[in-house]
Amino acid sequence: MGHRRNQDHYGRKAKADGYAARSVYKLEEVHKRFNVIPRNGRVLDLGCSPGSWSNYVKQVGGADTHLVGIDLTEVGGYRGQQFIESVFDVPIDSLREALGGGADLVMSDMAQATTGNRFTDHVRQIELAEQARVLAAALLVPGGNFVVKVFEGEDARALVERIRGDYTKTKRVKPKAVRKESVEFFVVGIGRKA
Task: Give catalytic residues, as residue numbers.
Answer: 149
Asked if 163 and 123 count as a contact pair (C-beta separation under 8 A), the reply is no
Task: Give yes or no for a contact between 108 and 147, defined as CB atoms under 8 angstroms apart.
Answer: yes
Residue of 39, 36, 90 lying closest to 68 (CA atoms): 90
Other beta carbons less than 10 A from residue 176's beta carbon:
11
Over its C-alpha atoms, the chain yields an Rg (Å, rounded) of 15
CB of 122 within 8 A of CB of 183? yes
Task: Please state, in angstroms and rounded to a whole number, the distance separating the CA atoms of residues 65 and 103.
Answer: 11
Say how many C-beta atoms besides its own lie within 10 A of residue 128's C-beta. Answer: 22
